[in-house]
Amino acid sequence: MAEERSVGVVMQYFAKAEVAAIQITDGEIKVGDTLRIKGATTEFTQKIDSMQIDRASVSSAKAGQSVGIKVKERVREHDRVFLSVG
């Protein structure tokens, strides 16, 4: 199994758009990276196909920024976001 490190937390989920608003707390994420989102009732892995900051497409985001990422499953506030490394 790939090594993981915590990179953020889900702040909000927009059900209609299937987008998670994620606060990046540590490090950097980029389009193409694989994330695992884990919470009390949530656990899945997916690749980042695209992300946005203030409705503008970006290719990466660093600690301190909030991004919107389209997700394949419902997520919940306070779910942890991990980056697969290695």
For residue 12, pLDDT over 80 is answered with yes
For residue 62, pLDDT over 90 is answered with yes
As to burial, measured by CB atoms within 10 angstroms (0-12 exposed, 13-18 middle, 19+ buried), residue 71 is buried
For residue 85, pLDDT over 90 is answered with no
Instruction: Tell if the pTM clears 0.85, that is, is over it.
Output: yes
Residue with more model confidence, 85 or 63:
63
Number of structural domains (the chain) is 1
What is the domain extent for residue 57?
A: 3-85
Looking at residue 11, which CATH number applies to its domain?
Answer: 2.40.30.10
Q: What is the DSSP string of 47-73?
A: E---EEETTEEESEEETT-EEEEE-SS
Interval 22-58: pLDDT, tens? 999 999 999 999 999 999 999 999 999 999 999 999 9
